[in-house]
């Protein structure tokens, strides 16, 4: 008896309890929690599938988060103009594996103790189950945001491999947060110190690190940042406010928030702990024309580094983009790939 795969549409079907038990036991990112994935699935552009892979004894060894992307479908054809509901399945497409709504995370997580042959077997089992689920609609399988170590697991004859924009990662090598600033070149160390000191001394801004963020204004700031940086041709639904509310209640997540004297949110950043280190995901800030302040992004970076060092995390992943700027402050690019094909 081989590996067992259970596929679940979180909008229509209950997620097995073993899903969250695996997330907690393996110290995965809080973004893998089923409550968040279900909320995100309701607002997704295409149907979401969660897959839990178990060994022959029934013990989970891997999780997959995927969606069927393909030809556009008019929902009103199926649901009527006055009704809302889950997105219909595209007539043909590809199963794309990535963890949404975050834009830089792979959609697969393995048990830490699973060796490479076991991981390869889990991938093959997931692909067989996905093809069985979607039938002739599944013309291909795609994986996003993979590391070089994961490539052998999904590489097949005829599959396209593309190196993509790398995430920037700072490796922890300091015993004290102050050691980080002493390690930096004097020019960049002085800049970060000055930014941090100016913000601390500014009576017009209050900085806090906590477990929650006011979701509605936070989503507005997050969307403003996404609109500034994403292509006009890319249509991406906003992160639901309910998602941020639920994320704030989960262990392993902290929000760095900046507010003005009236309590208005100026900026926020989300940080998450996992077995691999500290990760930055969502960032939003108010435009200068709307009362925003400069350099909050870099102040947030320094506070995250302090949390990494104080918490003994192996690294801090600061996401993609702004490569040259992040390299100034010690971050290094980590090769990242997308793979697609039969």
Better-scored residue on pLDDT, 202 or 103: 202
Better-scored residue on pLDDT, 109 or 321: 109
What domains appear along the chain, each with residue ranges and CATH number?
Answer: 4-165 (3.40.630), 168-318 (3.40.630.30)
289, with CB counted inside 10 A (0-12, 13-18, 19+), is: exposed
Taking only the tens place, the pLDDT of each residue in 170-227 is 999 999 999 999 999 999 999 999 999 999 999 999 999 999 999 999 999 999 888 8
Taking only the tens place, the pLDDT of each residue in 43-65 is 888 889 999 999 999 999 999 99
Q: Categorise residue 291: left if φ over 0, alpha if ψ from -120 to 50, beta otherwise.
A: left
- DSSP characters for 278-304? EEEEEEEE--GGGT--TTHHHHHHHHH
In the chain, the percentage of residues whose pLDDT exceeds 90 is 80
Nearest Cα residue to 212 out of 268, 140, 134: 268
- DSSP characters for 68-100? EEES---THHHH-TT---SPPPPSSEEEEEB-S
Taking only the tens place, the pLDDT of each residue in 118-141 is 999 999 999 999 999 988 888 999
Predicted model pTM = 0.92
285 strand-pairing partners = 267
Q: How far is CA 226 from the centre of its chain?
A: 14
In whole angstroms, give the CA distance from residue 194 to residue 199. Answer: 9
In this prediction, residue 78 carries a pLDDT of: 40
Q: How far is CA 59 from the centre of its chain?
A: 25
In whole angstroms, give the CA distance from residue 218 to residue 154. Answer: 36
Q: How far is CA 283 from the centre of its chain?
A: 12
What SS3 class is residue 4? Answer: strand
What residues contact 158, with CB distance under 8 A and at least 6 apart?
341, 342
Length of the chain (residues): 342
Taking only the tens place, the pLDDT of each residue in 29-47 is 999 999 999 999 998 888 8
């Amino acid at each position: 008896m081989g590996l067992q795969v259970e596929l679940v549409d979180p909008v229509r079907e209950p997620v097995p309890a073993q899903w969250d038990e695996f997330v907690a036991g393996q110290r995965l990112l809080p973004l893998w929690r089923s409550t968040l994935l279900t909320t995100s699935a309701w607002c997704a552009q295409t149907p979401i599938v969660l897959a839990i892979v178990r060994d022959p004894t029934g013990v989970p060894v891997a999780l997959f988060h995927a969606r069927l992307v393909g030809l556009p479908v008019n929902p009103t054809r199926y649901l009527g103009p006055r009704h809302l509901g889950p997105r219909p399945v595209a007539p043909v497409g590809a199963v794309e594996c990535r963890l949404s709504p975050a834009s830089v995370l792979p959609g697969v997580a393995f048990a830490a103790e699973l060796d490479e042959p076991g991981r390869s077997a889990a991938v093959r089992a997931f692909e067989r189950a996905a093809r069985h689920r979607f039938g002739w609609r599944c013309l291909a399988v795609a994986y996003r945001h993979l590391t070089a170590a994961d490539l052998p697991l999904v590489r097949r004859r005829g599959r396209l491999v593309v190196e993509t924009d790398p995430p920037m990662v700072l490796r922890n090598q300091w015993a004290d947060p102050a050691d980080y600033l002493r390690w930096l070149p004097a020019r960049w160390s002085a800049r970060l110190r000055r930014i941090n000191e100016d913000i601390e001394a500014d009576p017009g801004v209050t900085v806090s690190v906590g477990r929650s963020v006011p979701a509605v204004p936070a989503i507005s700031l997050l969307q403003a940042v996404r609109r500034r940086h994403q292509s006009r041709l890319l249509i991406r639904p906003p992160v639901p406010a309910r998602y941020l509310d639920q994320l704030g209640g989960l262990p392993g997540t902290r929000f760095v928030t900046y507010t003005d004297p009236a309590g208005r949110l100026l900026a926020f950043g989300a940080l998450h702990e996992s077995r691999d280190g500290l990760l930055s995901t969502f960032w939003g800030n108010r435009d200068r024309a709307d009362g925003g302040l400069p350099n909050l992004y870099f102040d947030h970076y320094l506070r995250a580094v302090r949390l990494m060092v104080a918490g003994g995390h192996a690294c801090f992943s600061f996401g993609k983009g702004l490569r040259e700027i992040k390299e100034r402050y010690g971050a290094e690019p980590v090769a990242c790939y997308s793979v697609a094909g039969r």
